[in-house]
Structure formats: C-alpha cells, structure tokens
Structure 1
Amino acid sequence: MNVKSSSFKNEDFIPKEYTCDGSDISPDLEWDMVPSAKSYAIIVEDPDAPAGTFIHWVIYNIKDNKLPKNVPKVNNVSSMIQGVNDFGKVGYGGPCPPKSHPPHRYYFNVYALDVELPEKSGVTADELKRMMEGHIIDKGVIMGKYKRR
C-alpha cells in the first residue's frame, strides 16, 4: 500500500507548519484504496526519541483512503476515533525533538483493516495495535524527518 502526502515527500524533511515549532497541525495523507478494507488506522512513531519510540498520533476507523491536513484534535471526528499520543493529548502532536539531536524520523504507518474497531476513548498506540491484531490486511508507510534549529 503506497502512502503519500502533498505536505512532504517520503524521506524528506517535514515542513515546520506540521511541527511544534509551527502550527502543529497534521499533514494531509493519502494511500492506496484496499478493496476489502472496512476501515483504516494510522499510528505515527518516532523511533529516534531518547526514551524509546515516541507516539505522535493514534487514529482509527477512517473510512476513506485519505485525510485532509489539520484534523481537529478531538476524540471523535466524523466517525474517526483519535487516541492519546505520548504528549498525553488527543490527536496529532507534531515532531518536537530535542534541539541538540540530529534529525529524527517520523513514520506515518497506515493499516488497512478487515473490520471497523470498537469505539474507545483514550486509546494508546499499544492498545490500538492489540485491537488490530488479526485484522490487518495491508500496511503502508511514509517517513518524514525533522530537526529543530
């Protein structure tokens, strides 16, 4: 499953607008439609964080094969459910690596699922991964980098 964004290209730097140094809004994303998918889920991870993989976004029950930029940071957005990121907040939290660090990598993992998952508030990435077990029929990823100046 190919994943793309008009906000940044795969393996390129993520523009400041989508980070803690800018407006901290989510970028637009689009992926290949998987004909048998009932829903899609996205988990955004930074494996370069000092304390281990840091979660920036948890969202699921996406019906379409795209998301617009600036998804509102609320639990339920037109039937999509957003979980809690590692900032302790609902919705997207943009890249915000320590200023002394080299560029971090941000993986926007998109999962095609054969079910719609139960609505649950405050879902973490680990919980979502457990809920998706046995239901992932395809997966794609786009990776962007960011370094604070």
Structure 2
Amino acid sequence: MTLLGRLLKNRRAGDAHMAWNLPNLQGPEQLTLTSQDFGDGDGMSLKHCAKQIGGDDLSPHLTWAPLPPGTAQLLLVVEDIDVPMAKPAVHCLALINPSAAEHLEPGALAAQHPGPGVRILRSTIGRGYHGPAPIKGHGPHRYVFQLFALSVAVDSASGTTPVDRARPRALLPTITASVLGRGRLTGVYER
C-alpha cells in the first residue's frame, strides 16, 4: 500500500472543488470554528480516524461563534481535499439546528446516534462521520471542517430529491439559502 501512495503522491483533489469555493456557499467569513481536539492546521489523533486503520471513527468536538442573527440552520461539510481523486471526498455532511445545539460533543456526528439537533446526510462514503484513512505513503491529508450559517433550512436538493437521499455533490450546489456567515477548521493526518 505504501507503493500505491508514493505512485499517487502528486495526485490530489485540491481545494478548488471543495464546498467552501462553491458560488452559492459564499458569505462573510465571520464564524470561528474551533475544536478542543486539535487546532487549525494541527494533526488529528488516531481516535478521530477510521476504524480500518485502528481509529475509533469518533467525530471531534466542535464549537462555533458568533452565530449570525437570523440563522435558521447550520450546514457542516467535512472534506478530504488531498484524496487522489478529481474532487474532494466528503467525509461527513450534516445539518444542525442552531437552537438545539450550541456545539458538538465528540461523537455527535455518528450515523446511528447523532447529537441533539444534528441531522446526518449522505456523504461520499456513507452516512455519519468517517474519519481519516489516507493511503499509506501518500503524504499528509487535510480534512477541512466547513460550517455555513444558512438563512433558511435546507429541505430538498434540486427541489424534488429529499435532502436525506441526495448525494453531496448533487445537494451542495443546489442550496439556495443565503449564507449569513461561515468558518472552517483544518485537521491533518498522515500514514
């Protein structure tokens, strides 16, 4: 597996196609997104990594401030922007009710038992939080946690597909709610 990682070393999705850069998700960068588990640009611990590499698949603690007035819903997108694919892999996609959750405790993004006010959507990998599991030898991978404060709750993708069934790359460009504020936090992991 290390050989494969070295062969793909220069192939990375990059940040051009991540949710942060979608035209419809532009907005003021006034949210501060932080974690008790790692700082921006710091390494993530094994407990937050995928079970297949010995981790616990435990989503990290997340907190945000200030919440813009008029926020109806929060959209959380976690993407691996260094995956050797054309576009970043969505590791988690969730909608958060801001009146029910002021922060997320560790494990709040679990598919089976999400935290209060958390609605888990489909990701590239499945449902719920899927921790880092980069190819061995591929180098450091950046996992970007992006939080968007939306003026209106998201109910469907393209007007007809229920939000719970939509694929991330189909859902994200169809969000029409105004972004009142946004913030991001990047964790790094390498095997």
Q: Tell me the TM-score normalised to structure 2 length.
A: 0.70
Structure 1 residue ranges without an equivalent (≥5)? none
* Residue number in structure 2 paired with 1:54: 89
- Say how many residue pairs are matched: 147
For residues 92 and 112 of structure 2, the distance between their equivalents in structure 1, rounded to whole angstroms, comes to 12
Give 2:121's match in structure 1, choosing from 83, 87, 92.
83
Does the 8 Å CA contact 2:163/2:171 hold for their aligned counterparts?
A: no
Higher strand proportion (structure 1 or 2): 1
Larger Rg: 2
For 1:31, the equivalent position in structure 2 comes to 64
The alpha-carbon deviation at position 115 of structure 1 amounts to: 1.3
Does residue 73 (structure 1) correspond to residue 107 (structure 2)? The answer is no
Alignment of 1:128 with 2:176, yes or no, is: no
RMSD of aligned Cα (Å): 1.9
Task: Name the structure 1 match of 2:187.
Answer: 144
| Aligned residues of 1:82 and 1:123 also touching (Cα < 8 A) | no
Q: Which amino acid aligns with 2:190?
A: K
Report which of the two has the higher share of helix.
2
Structure 1 consecutive aligned stretches of length 4 or more whose deviation exceeds 6 Å = none
In the aligned structure 1, how far is the partner of 2:187 from the partner of 2:114? 26
Paired residues of 2:105 and 2:115 also in contact (CA < 8 A):
no
Q: In the TM superposition, what is the alpha-carbon distance from 1:58 to its structure 2 partner?
A: 0.2
1:14 to 21, 39, 44: 44
TM-score by length of 1: 0.88
Distance 1:59-1:6 versus aligned 2 partners, 3 A rule: same
* Structure 1 pair 106–42 and aligned structure 2 pair: CA distance change class (3 A): same
